[in-house]
C-alpha cells in the first residue's frame, strides 16, 4: 500500500500570483531535477518539489531534453535533419508602426501568402509590408524544448514550511492498493 501524492498534490494556480514565494530558474543542458534540487536547496531529495511545483508528472516528456537527447529525438521523429528542416508553418514577425506602436505581434500562425500592410512613414502613400517567416519542424521542436527549460521554484527559505504542510496533508491520506503488480509491468 502506498500514498499517491502526485495525483492529489498540485500547487494552486492562484499561489503563483504571490511572486515573493517563487523564483525563476533556467535549466541548463542535461541538468536533472535532483541536480536542480541540490543546486538550489542544497539537497537532492527535494527533486519531487521541483517537479511538483512545475506540474511535471512525466519527466520524459515534460522535462527539457539535453542537446544529445534532442538530436536523437529529431532523428527518431523525423528520420533526418533534412526532413526536420522542412517548413512546418509560417508565423508573423513583430511589427511596429512609425510611432512605435505594436501593430502586429510575433508568433501568430498564418498562411504562406500572408502580408500585413502598414504605414512606415507619415507620407500618405508610403506603406510597407510585413511578411511571415517560415518555421521549420526543427525550429518548432527546439522552441518547445527551450520553453521547458524555464521553471519556477519555491524559494529556499519556504521549503521547510511547504514540506511540513505536505507531510501533514499526507498523514491524512488513506493508503490505496495498486491494481497492478510490478511483475505485470513490461
Does residue 24 surpass a pLDDT of 90? yes
Would the pTM of this model clear 0.85, i.e. be above it? no
* Cβ atoms of 129 and 110 closer than 8 Å: no
Q: What is the pLDDT of residues 169-184, one digit of tens each?
A: 878 877 776 666 656 5
Alpha carbon distances (Å) from 71 to 28, 76, 94, 135: 16, 9, 29, 18
Q: What is the pLDDT of residue 10?
A: 57
Q: Which of 61-70, 81-90, 92-101 has the lowest mean pLDDT?
A: 92-101
Q: What are 31-82's pLDDT values in tens digits?
A: 999 999 999 999 999 999 999 999 998 999 999 999 999 999 999 999 999 9
Note the pLDDT of residue 18: 59
Query: How far apart are alpha carbons 63 and 79 in whole angstroms?
Result: 23
Amino acid at each position: 500500500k502506498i500514498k499517491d501524492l502526485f495525483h492529489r498534490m498540485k500547487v494552486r494556480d492562484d499561489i503563483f500570483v504571490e511572486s515573493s514565494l517563487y523564483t525563476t530558474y533556467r535549466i541548463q543542458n542535461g541538468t536533472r531535477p535532483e541536480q536542480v534540487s541540490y543546486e538550489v536547496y542544497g539537497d537532492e531529495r527535494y527533486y519531487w518539489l521541483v517537479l511538483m511545483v512545475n506540474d511535471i508528472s512525466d519527466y520524459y516528456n515534460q522535462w527539457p531534453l539535453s542537446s544529445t537527447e534532442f538530436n536523437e529525438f529529431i532523428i527518431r521523429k523525423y528520420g533526418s535533419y533534412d526532413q526536420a528542416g522542412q517548413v512546418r508553418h509560417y508565423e508573423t514577425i513583430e511589427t511596429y508602426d512609425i510611432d512605435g506602436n505594436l501593430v502586429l505581434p510575433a508568433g501568430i500562425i498564418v498562411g504562406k501568402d500572408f502580408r500585413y500592410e502598414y504605414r512606415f512613414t507619415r507620407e500618405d502613400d508610403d506603406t510597407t509590408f510585413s511578411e511571415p517567416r517560415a518555421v521549420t519542424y526543427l525550429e518548432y521542436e527546439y522552441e518547445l524544448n527551450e520553453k521547458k527549460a524555464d521553471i519556477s521554484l519555491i524559494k529556499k527559505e519556504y521549503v521547510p514550511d511547504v514540506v511540513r504542510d505536505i507531510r501533514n496533508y499526507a498523514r491524512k491520506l488513506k493508503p490505496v492498493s495498486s491494481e497492478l503488480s510490478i511483475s505485470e509491468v513490461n
